[in-house]
Each structure stands twice: as structure tokens, then as C-alpha cells.
Chain A
Amino acid sequence: MLQQVTLSIDGAQVEAVRGTSVLDVAVEYGICIPHLCHIPSLSDFGGCRLCVVELIENSRSKVTTSCTLLVQDDMVVRTNTEKIRKLRRNIAELLVAQAPNSRAIQDIAVRCGVSQVRYPFRNESCVLCGRCVRLCTELWSARAIGFVGRGKDRHVDFPFGVRPDVCKQCQACVQHCPMTITPCDGPMEPGEERLCGKCEAQLLIAESAPDSCIWCELGVGFGCARHAS
């Protein structure tokens, strides 16, 4: 039998099955925690850091990623404190500076309240969210791609940079890549990167209710778990 636990998310008492993550539970209950690297049914590794929450233990708070935080009885989690909003905004700002040519990331930046980007734009084509790697490894068991190198040289690649026979060219990695949808105005050339901010009109409700899921259209772009389920 599935064991139920009761925990508090943003003051609401919610019931959840032991073994699920706080992110999954929150999304299921309509509490918005922005996330990028999380795909339902795949393992989580806390790569994008967007889903940070405050875990309150013994009247002290600890910031941790909710996708790797498993629910426990009497857990107290806050997803929308001033501290978390600030951290999340900064993470989204860094992501959009790293890869402005992604509608998914531009959307997340808007959702997280980024109004200006203080970091130099890098215009990279990867944010190392690892969606493709985990899909290939876990869902298809193909293990054709993986992380190579480390530190600033870390990137996703085939073994020796050559497509191996185990790759069936199923394109699942491409379909789930947040970089494949370009911003509405088309790709930005190096030197003309900017914060798109086009979707602000959609977010008038979001501003008044940053903590609850409003089924925003943005979720469609980056494959928010709420839309996937």
C-alpha cells in the first residue's frame, strides 16, 4: 500500500505519496514552482536550480532544490518567500544571459520576474539542463549521449564526438531540448541579444498571484510538468 504523508507547502496542508518530490506535489496541487530540467518520470538531479524552495526545520530555513527533495511527514516548505523569489530571479537572469536564444528560457525569465539582465550575454546553445542525457539514458536506455568534460568545458556529446550505432536517431533529445524553440522574433544574432519580455501581457494575472499555477501559456513552451501530466 502506498504510504501517505502530510506536509505543509506555503502554509497549506497537503497529502502526498511517500517517495514523490516536493516539486511534483506542489505542481499537482497547483502551486507554481518554475522549473526547467525536470521532466516527469525521469530522475531529477537539480541541474537548473530554478525550483529552489525554503525548507524549514527546527525554525531554521534551508534553501534546496524541490525536485530532489522527497516529501516527509510534517515537512514545512515555503516556495514563495522574498528570499526565494530573489534567488529564483537571479538564476533565471543567469540562464537567460547564458542562452537568450531560447523561448523556453525567455519565458521562464519573464515568469520569474526578470526585468533586466545584468550579466553579459553568452549566446550559448546549451544550458546543461541534462534533459536530453536523461531521456536517452533512462527512457530509451540508449546511452548514446552524455556529459563530457568538466567545469567550464562540460558539454553534451557523443562518445568521441561521433554518433554511435546505439543512437536510433529518435530525436527525443531534440524534442525536449529547451533550446529548440527560438524567441518569437526569430533567433538573435551575437551582439543583439536582449531580454525578450514579449509575454509580459500574459502575465498580468501572474504578477498578482506569483505562487499559484495559472496554467500560463509559457508552460507549453518549456514543457512545464503541469502541462505534461
Chain B
Amino acid sequence: MSTTSLEAILEGRRSQPQELIEVLQDVQELFGYIPQESMISVSRELGVPLIEVYRVASFYKAFSLEPRGKHVITVCLGTACHVRGAARLVDQVTGQLEVEPGGTTSDGLFTVECVNCLGACALGPVLVLDGVYHDHMSPRKLSRLIEAVRSAEEEVAVRAEA
């Protein structure tokens, strides 16, 4: 399945080195991270040296070289969010999920990231869960949010078993 999808991403872009970042973005979206094997395929198919692919992939923060959790929580630590208590959100999320920023929970459900600014300072403290912005967060709201995601996941798992 994954090979065919990678094929689809590369379709029409072969031997076009200028497409490197777009291809890597699509790979990131497909797998949630950029696996080594896809970097090797991308290098071969686009005609970009492997070191160049690795350099670009390791440079941008938007690309992850490690597998990521199913849900990604991005906590903003920008100045505006910081003064409104973003540090308490980090404490809450690291405590509740028992994972350090940048890490993934052992069940592979959550990845926690910290960024320096999300550009939504008026909404601070702000965090992003799977691309959805949650504004004016408090540790309590965050805790409920995580629980909601977790119970939804459990429901899916129960249904799959049934």
C-alpha cells in the first residue's frame, strides 16, 4: 500500500529536483514522518543526491525523521502565550501523557511538540491538535481535550473488536 502511494506522489515529478520539498511534504503527510527508505527512493527518482534530501529533511522543522503519534499536540511557547501561562500547558501535557516535548507516547497515540510562535498571539495561550487551533487554553481544558481524544480512540478500538 505504502509503495503505491509513494509511486503516486512521485508520478509526474520524476527527474525534477526542484520538486524535492513538495515531494517531501507529501511523504510527510502520507506516513506522518519521512522514513529512510522513502528518502532513498525520492533521491533516486528525483535525481537529487541522497545527502541533499537528508539535508533538506533534517533542516526544516516541518519534516520529522522519527515516526510520530496518531495525534500531534503542538503547544505554542511564544512570548504572548508564555506570559499567559503556556508553561502550565506544557506541564499538564507532559504530566498527563508522561512524555517530554518532542517525544511520542509509548502507545503511539500522541506526539507533543513545542514551537516558538504559531502567529495567533491574540488567542493565547494557544495549541494545535491535529491541525485544529484551540484558543485560550487552560490546563483543565487541555486535560479534557486529551481525554476526549483518548475516549474517541477507545471507542474506535472497541467498535473494531466488535
Contact = CB atoms under 8 A, between A and B. Distances in A.
Interface of A: 143-150, 158-160, 164, 166
Contacts of A148: 54-55, 58
14 contacts: A143-B49, A143-B52, A145-B51, A146-B51, A146-B52, A146-B54, A148-B54, A148-B58, A159-B53, A160-B36, A164-B50, A164-B51, A166-B49, A166-B50
A160 B59 contact: no
Q: How large is the interface on B (under 10, 10 to 19, 20 to 34, 35 or more residues)?
A: 10 to 19
Contact of B55 (A144, A147, A164, A166): A147
Contacts of B39: 159
B54 to A, nearest CB: 4
Most A CB contacts (10 A, CB to CB) among B36, B39, B53, B59 go to: B59
B48 to A, nearest CB: 10
Interface string B36-79: 10010000000001111111001100000000000000000000
Nearest to B59: A150
A149 B58 contact: yes
Interface of B: 36, 39, 49-55, 58-59
A158 B52 CA distance: 10
Query: Would you list the 6 A-B pairs with minimal beta carbon distance, nearest first?
Result: A146-B51, A143-B49, A159-B54, A159-B50, A148-B58, A150-B59
Given A146-B51, A164-B50, 10 more contacts: A143-B52, A144-B51, A147-B55, A148-B55, A149-B58, A159-B39, A159-B51, A159-B53, A164-B51, A166-B49
A72 B52 CA distance: 33
Nearest to A160: B36
A143 B58 CA distance: 16
Contacts of A150: 58-59
Contacts of A147: 55
Contacts of B59: 149-150
A119 to B, nearest CB: 26
Contacts of B53: 159
Nearest to B57: A148
Contacts of A160: 36, 54
A162 B78 CA distance: 37
